[in-house]
Structure 1
């Protein structure tokens, strides 16, 4: 039974780092292979080239031009790649914000995902305090974050924290100062063993 695991959340929450931290323990505990699909790794260079051509700014990932022209194709390609791996029996970890999809409850909608009933789907929403997220975004100095930092007041209006009562399909993970015990509990949750 293939597994499709999502690590979602806003910029700076550590979703990629957390997914990478868990991939070896997941493989060790299951004896199965996992493929890591990070949206920024898959589409970063491509999107930079397109945005350079469209706006002159290869680091733009927040403007209306990006959101209207590249966001959806990036996610469509990400999910198509995930489905191909799942069809081959390879477990998949998908990393990306996916905030619109979370709000619409799409990540557990098998018709939207295009996956069969034998695929185990788990969705982790990685979050932390806004001030800590901003500190981490500043510290990582990624040019793709320039707009966020320059327009934090506008950017923060897109931030949201899912209410567990409204989003029971999510595993909420506070990554502010996650302890090894909390990471182990998350691993157990992803494996369905808690």
Structure 2
């Protein structure tokens, strides 16, 4: 459940809250936030604007935000944080498709928790992401900004795929932003162990092999913003920001 933030009591509190959001977004972004018309600055401004509109009315141009990252990187928690602040719809791939994915894998003679074999990667994964994107379009087509949480590993590496997405959105008057949540392998493993999801069993049983394939020092070329969640720093800051906003607006 995503909790609502209290409404501002006066303009001074509104400005103070906006500053807290700006500072938090700048701190978690790798390299900080550039000024002017950089993608990082534009996305930050959209987040602050959405927060203000959420509490003061208005209907801004919709935006589609893709939040990607490896398993256990913190992408879902960061997506919830963005949704909490902005009021934008939040869709998580696993919540939306997991039951169907598991049943489909079984019907194809596979393991319901498989997320690494060709059966999943070639026969199931494309349908999983198609379902996620179609759900997003349902929101966007009625003017509802939407945040998608999924690994998006192959998608954000594919400049042609991302260009097609941008073109489709532009034709409908929709903005697009891609966020990559970066995390260290040790923290990701700790979170994966903590959540205890059956779909992560292969990763944990073959951790050295799995971790060797992670590109933890770089971000996909299409990412507009990289969030530094090494050692859980970004998620900790998100929690602190929520508490600061509650104090300011109390």
Q: CA deviation at 1:170?
A: 2.5
Q: CA deviation at 1:93?
A: 0.5
Contact 1:61/1:67 (8 A) holds in 2: yes
Once residues 109 and 208 of structure 2 are traced to their aligned partners in structure 1, the CA distance between those partners, rounded to angstroms, is: 22
Q: Which residue in the other structure is 1:63 paired with?
A: 117
Q: Which residue in the other structure is 2:80 paired with?
A: 20
Once residues 107 and 180 of structure 1 are traced to their aligned partners in structure 2, the CA distance between those partners, rounded to angstroms, is: 32
Q: How does 1:125-140 map to 2 (within 5 A)?
A: 125-140=180-195
Write out per-residue CA displacement over residues 128-177 of structure 1, whole angstroms, 9 at most, x where no aligned residue: 1111111111121110100111122332243224746x736421111132
Contact 2:93/2:132 (8 A) holds in 1: yes
| Matched residue SS, 1:37 | strand
Once residues 143 and 101 of structure 2 are traced to their aligned partners in structure 1, the CA distance between those partners, rounded to angstroms, is: 29
Please report the TM-score for the alignment, with normalisation by the length of structure 2. Answer: 0.64
Q: How does 1:79-158 map to 2 (within 5 A)?
A: 79-105=133-159, 108-111=162-165, 114-117=168-171, 118-158=173-213
Whether 2:233 is the aligned partner of 1:177: answer yes
| Matched residue SS, 2:233 | coil
For these two proteins, the number of residue pairs brought into alignment is 177
Q: Which residue in the other structure is 1:30 paired with?
A: none
Once residues 171 and 19 of structure 1 are traced to their aligned partners in structure 2, the CA distance between those partners, rounded to angstroms, is: 13
Q: Return the match for 2:96 from 21, 30, 42.
A: 42
Q: CA deviation at 1:18?
A: 1.3
Higher strand share goes to which structure?
1
Once residues 137 and 143 of structure 2 are traced to their aligned partners in structure 1, the CA distance between those partners, rounded to angstroms, is: 10
Structure 1: runs of 5 or more not aligned = 28-33, 185-194
Higher helix share goes to which structure?
2
Please report the TM-score for the alignment, with normalisation by the length of structure 1. Answer: 0.80
Once residues 118 and 150 of structure 2 are traced to their aligned partners in structure 1, the CA distance between those partners, rounded to angstroms, is: 19
Write out per-residue CA displacement over residues 37-84 of structure 1, whole angstroms, 9 at most, x where no aligned residue: 111011100011111222452222222211111111111221122122
Once residues 173 and 183 of structure 1 are traced to their aligned partners in structure 2, the CA distance between those partners, rounded to angstroms, is: 16
Q: CA deviation at 1:12?
A: 0.2
Q: How does 1:67-78 map to 2 (within 5 A)?
A: 67-78=121-132
Once residues 205 and 165 of structure 2 are traced to their aligned partners in structure 1, the CA distance between those partners, rounded to angstroms, is: 38
Which protein is bigger by CA-based radius of gyration? Answer: 2
| Matched residue SS, 1:177 | helix
